[in-house]
Amino acid sequence: MKLKSTNNQEIDLSKISIICNTSRKNSEKIADVLTKFLQKSSINYTQQNINANCHNFEFDSTATFAITIGGDGTLLATARFYAEYNVPVLGINFGRLGFLAQIGQKKLKQGLEEIIKGNFLIQKRIMLQAITSISQTKLSALNDLVVKGGAISRTSRLYLSINNQEVCDYLADGIIISTPTGSTAYNLSANGPIISPVIDAITVTPICPHTLSIRPLVIQGQENIEIKTDNNADLIYITADGQDNYKLKKDEKISIVKSNKAAKLVLLNSSENNFYSVLRKKLNWGMPTLNH
């Protein structure tokens, strides 16, 4: 069974993988509601339970569609894995903000019915790929790659180049390299710009730089980014989506490019779930009505 979206993409329901974050309160009850809905619709599925630490979790590589029950972190880990297999992912939100997970707990059945009706979109979201110069460690990210010192109350000296052109020497807590999807995550907290998720761009945002002249950069998605550590650097890490990390060596370089893989996110096709409505709701941008 296949479902066609309003933008002519398809979801193959041959085998659904349900990823349930059991560290979230009531998540297993929602999983029970979901599985009963799928059974009633005669749809094949498997369920895997995951805890708060998504590291080294073994996803089902044979799935044709994935549904996550948890916060954005659960969805990020799932979407990174299934990008390799071109499998779309739908999120049921149990987190705090939930910019990525589309369906709320209270509207679960309604949201699932809309999916079955074909009232949904599948959006491709760009991802980042990083490789370190010494160990050749590779990391991929849907939200962001963060280069940051691990020492308490110490700034780090980092050197940024773009397309082999020196751009900036940072004395800062770190640097965030963000996709448009990740622009509403750590990047937003560091006063970086919010970027529409359909734009092919990458944001470079310093974390607490020790000078007022340094500002975030928005660059084309095709640019090649390189970050170099200082030869006196110690305890500097690169972290992907706040989940996978690697401790950098002194004088190590990190090359960051747009990945040739893209995450496929399933979004409800309604005015309540478009990007700008979600921004207005999640960030409380609506002004209260004044009573006269």
CB of 84 closer than 8 Å to CB of 235: no
- Residue 291, pLDDT score: 65
Antiparallel, parallel or unpaired: β 156-162 and 225-229: antiparallel
The domain spans of the chain are 2-119+269-282, 128-260
CATH 3.40.50.10330 fits 2-119+269-282, yes or no: yes
Please pick, among 60, 72, 173, 244, the residue that the annotation labels catalytic: 72
Q: Assess whether 173 carries a catalytic annotation.
A: no
Question: Can you tell me the distance from the alpha carbon of 28 to that of 222, in angstroms, rounded to the nearest whole number?
Answer: 42
- Residue 257, pLDDT score: 98
**CATH placement of domain 128-260:** 2.60.200.30
Q: Is the dihedral of CA 11, 14, 17, 18 positive or negative?
A: positive
- Residue 97, pLDDT score: 64
What is this structure's pTM? 0.92
Other Cβ atoms closer than 10 A to 253: 16
Structure tokens at 68: 């996550």
Question: Can you tell me the distance from the alpha carbon of 75 to that of 90, in angstroms, rounded to the nearest whole number?
Answer: 8
- Residue 64, pLDDT score: 97
Per-residue pLDDT of the chain in tens (292 residues, 90 and over written 9) = 899 999 999 999 999 999 999 888 888 999 999 999 999 989 999 999 987 666 668 899 999 999 999 888 899 999 999 999 999 999 998 766 678 887 888 888 899 999 999 999 999 999 999 999 999 999 999 999 999 987 666 788 999 999 999 999 999 999 999 999 999 999 999 999 999 999 999 999 999 999 889 999 999 999 999 999 887 777 899 999 999 999 998 889 999 999 999 999 999 998 888 899 889 988 888 766 666 5
Q: How many helices (H) and strands (E) does the chain have?
A: 5, 19
- Residue 151, pLDDT score: 65
